[in-house]
């Protein structure tokens, strides 16, 4: 039916009826349009991937210039920290173990791949740098054996902006490198938001609840407690960043995983919250607004 003669005949018979059906059922029309756009972008993406694969097949891997790589060549025992901005990147580079820890600074909020076109994704320099640094490819070209690090650690500020950037990065890995999550390579760092001092006693709190827990526990008493809030990772001295967030012996890492049996719910939630339809986000906020006690904006 794709030859010119058949196409003209089919169009003559179907066009008016099809237009009438689309006008009478907007919901179905929108679903059909979204499906067609998704398939079109997928074809363009695959075509571009083939072109890139041909161009790079005979070239040596070139790493991003802003990557501070670790000295170990084997992936086992190594990790790469994805940090927001050059300021935090500078502190992290000073705090790291140069043998096993690499640092890749990312500029600003990265692209939301759940709502971006394939062209925008392909042309985004920050994401291209990330793919080059990891070395494992994306989607159908993902190669577990080519992954250059055992752990990929998202390390952002402990505030709402940092949470937003972390959400964008997790969305990227979920859409473009799902096997990275399935195989247990993706982690979230837990940097502190507060520093509590009482005489010689010092502790760090990762959020408001943890701060209150410390005040009612280790710091309970009559002596004054000085509380300072970190504006970002970039303002933390390298020693503090290493002790609280990067030292494997002292830090806390959250492993990103998808619970067994929740694959469909996860896919739907990511699409609802990060996808192209703002009405689904509005519905989620309206349904869950009653559970919010403190709003950080």
Q: How confident is the model at residue 142 (pLDDT cuts 50, 70, 90)?
A: very high
Q: Are 198 and 219 in contact (CB under 8 A)?
A: yes
- Select from 133, 74, 76 the least CA-distant residue to 103: 133
> Would the pLDDT of 222 be above 80?
no
What is the Cα 202 distance to its own chain's centre?
32
Summarize pLDDT for 236-266 with one digit per residue, the tens: 889 989 999 999 998 999 999 999 999 999 9
The set of catalytic residues is 84, 157, 159, 161
Q: Read off the pLDDT of residues 39-82 as tens digits, 9 standing for 90 and up.
A: 888 777 777 665 555 444 434 567 888 899 999 999 999 999 99
In this prediction the pTM is 0.76
Q: Strand ranges (DSSP E) for the chain?
A: 79-84, 101-106, 151-155, 186-189, 194-198, 201-205, 226-229, 253-255
Do 176 and 138 contact (CB within 8 A), yes or no? yes
């Amino acid at each position: 039916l794709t030859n010119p003669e058949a196409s003209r005949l089919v169009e003559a018979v179907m066009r008016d009826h099809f237009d009438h059906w689309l006008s009478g059922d907007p919901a179905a029309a929108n679903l059909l349009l979204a499906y067609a756009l998704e398939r079109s972008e997928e074809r363009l993406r695959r075509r571009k991937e083939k072109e890139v694969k041909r161009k790079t097949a005979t070239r040596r891997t070139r790493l991003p210039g802003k990557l501070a790589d670790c000295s170990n060549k084997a992936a086992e025992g190594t990790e790469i920290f994805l940090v927001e901005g050059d300021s935090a990147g500078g502190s992290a580079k000073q705090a790291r173990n140069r043998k096993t820890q690499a640092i890749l600074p990312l500029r600003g909020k990265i692209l939301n791949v759940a709502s971006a076109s394939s062209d925008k994704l392909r042309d985004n320099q920050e994401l291209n740098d990330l793919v080059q640094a990891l070395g494992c490819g994306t989607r159908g070209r993902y190669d577990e054996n080519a992954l250059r690090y055992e752990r990929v650690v998202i390390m952002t500020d402990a505030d709402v902006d940092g949470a937003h950037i972390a959400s964008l990065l997790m969305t990227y890995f979920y859409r473009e490198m799902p096997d990275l999550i399935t195989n247990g390579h993706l982690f979230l760092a837990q940097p502190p938001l507060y520093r509590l001092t009482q005489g010689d006693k010092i502790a760090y709190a990762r959020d408001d609840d943890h701060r209150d827990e410390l005040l009612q526990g280790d710091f309970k008493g009559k002596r004054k407690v000085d509380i300072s809030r970190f504006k970002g990772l970039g303002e933390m001295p390298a020693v503090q960043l290493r002790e609280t967030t990067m030292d494997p012996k002292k830090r806390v890492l959250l492993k990103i995983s998808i619970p067994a049996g929740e694959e469909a719910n996860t896919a739907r939630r990511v699409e609802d919250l990060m996808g192209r339809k703002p009405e689904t986000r509005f519905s989620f906020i309206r349904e869950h607004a009653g559970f919010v006690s403190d709003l950080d904006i």
